Homo-oligomer: A and B are copies of this chain.
């Protein structure tokens, strides 16, 4: 059996998909924030460099969150220092939870930021320690000052499908939060199925409802977790309905420190396999990405969840 050759995706175009998709890589932030131990900052910098070398053009680097909240990302300044010119620009966003985080980010020359909102009251309370309304008030000056400073602004909206405490989340409730955030001036929304429960029909309904509310799919990114194996199917459905930006984490790392049932993100490699296989351009070199995940898995001391990584790295 040693003569089996290493597989690569075959290209057969799929009707209804775009020619090109932008992968918004969240591994260094969303992936590493959930690791049980902090990764050394030099390893993080090398991770980012390898991701960029693999052809990813948008990489979210870290979060300027207080160290006591997420100690895993307590080295945001040091990371940007190590990255130098690689760590700035509109395709190197960082998460900023509040004005203090924005100040820290702006001090480091960042000019793309993301805020992290919740579609549900319970998760807003647990994650942000305030109501949805209060959190939107908190974000208003963050977004305004970021825009005034010339930065690009994304808003994550978490728990857009189901909430671990509240259950199914009404689409209208999600649209309301999204509309508020767009009214603040955000450039892009990332609608998240933080606990991975959604299925394709729900994706169509939400993307359509946002469009009906004036938030077109060109302003929307999708962010799926693979907790129940639905992430890729949901993502491809969103792409068939006009979405062009997809969040993914190399290796399938990730989760959420505030919700136990939120496990790994859509693996960038599994997404790239699908898109390569359908002739959708991403600019990403799959082999380089798999090598990066294999290396990162060694740093973390456990195998990457990505199916593609497991299949190719074992071959």
Contacts and interface: CB of A to CB of B under 8 A. Distances in A.
A13 B1 CA distance: 44
A88 to B, nearest CB: 33
Contacts of A202: 10, 12, 277
A37 interface: no
A216 interface: no
A4 B195 CA distance: 11
Interface in A1-43: 1, 3-5, 7, 9-15, 17
B197 A10 contact: yes
A230 B274 contact: yes
Interface residues of A, number: 55
B7 A195 contact: yes
A291 interface: no
Instruction: Classify the interface of chain A: helix, strand, loop or mixed.
Output: loop
B14 A227 contact: no
Contact of A306 (B205, B229, B260, B308): B229
Contacts of A199: 9-10, 12, 14, 273-274, 276-278
B277 A1 contact: no
Contacts of A198: 10, 277
A236 interface: yes
A13 B279 CA distance: 29
A194 B1 CA distance: 15
Given A204-B14, A261-B311, A230 B232 contact: yes
Interface of A: 1, 3-5, 7, 9-15, 17, 161-162, 164-165, 167-168, 195-202, 204-205, 226-230, 232-233, 236-237, 259-261, 263, 267, 270, 273-274, 276-279, 306-308, 311, 315
Given A10-B162, A12-B204, A200-B277, 20 more contacts: A4-B164, A7-B195, A7-B228, A9-B228, A10-B167, A10-B168, A12-B205, A14-B201, A15-B204, A197-B277, A199-B277, A200-B274, A202-B277, A227-B307, A228-B308, A229-B274, A230-B270, A230-B273, A230-B277, A233-B236
